Amino acid sequence: SPLAYASDPSPLQDFCVAINDPKDGVFVNGKFCKDPKLAKAEDFYYSGLNIPRNTSNPVGSTVTPVNVAQIPGLNTLGISLVRIDYAPNDGLNPPHTHPRATEILVVVEGTLYVGFVTSNTDNRLIAKVLYPGDVFVFPIGLIHFQFNEGKTKAVAFAGLSSQNPGVITIANAVFGPNPSINPDILVKAFQLDKNVVKKLQSKFWWANN
């Protein structure tokens, strides 16, 4: 059978600042581009990643993205950034995937237990405890997580190999979509009691909606 390869298109110009108004714009990689002669410094700028985020939520973490939605000049450049704040003791960036990006993470404060799971049929956990200055890579598309093992807050920054990497949080996607997945499917897939599945669906559905 024939093979097909796909990736973000390589830019054919210096940059393609994303705009929402299609008037006089050129559509490139999911966004319209403004006239490059009208580009300004603000199109390539974001401020505020030094500000700690509130982690008072059920998982005890907050992700602050800096992608094409925040910096329109990132369009077609194939890169983005996030700051992740973790609450003390058990702050968790729960198991998730980035469908369009590999992630490289650096810890700047605290202690994190991080890992990813390889694809079927191995499903092997590759994990490590990280300290400030340590770096870890999560390959594109694989389920991964970060967990704060320390008694103080933790902070990490991560680069991603897409201007719009996307994120699929596993529990939210499985138990919280709208409309809901038939509980019988989840009972069989996860080998759970139906009442447990319905409880999880109710919990995650309200969290998502």
Determine how β-strand 103-109 pairs with β-strand 154-160. antiparallel
Residue 104 pLDDT class (50, 70, 90 cuts): very high
Q: Is residue 10 over pLDDT 80?
A: no
Q: Is residue 9 over pLDDT 70?
A: no
Residue 26 pLDDT class (50, 70, 90 cuts): low
93 is in an annotated binding site: yes
CATH 2.60.120.10 fits 36-166, yes or no: yes
Domain regions of the chain by residue span:
36-166, 167-208
149 is in an annotated binding site: no
pLDDT in tens, 29-69: 567 788 888 999 999 999 999 999 999 999 999 999 999 99
Residue found by looking up tokens 């999880």 in the block: 200
List residues bridging with 126 in a β-sheet. Answer: 116
Query: How much is the pLDDT for 209?
Result: 63
75 is in an annotated binding site: no
Angle between helices 194-208 and 183-190 (to 10 degrees): 120
42 is in an annotated binding site: no
In the sheet that holds 18-19, the strands lie side by side as 18-19, 31-33, 26-28
For residues 190 and 76, the model is more confident at: 190
| Mean pLDDT confidence for 134-145 | 97
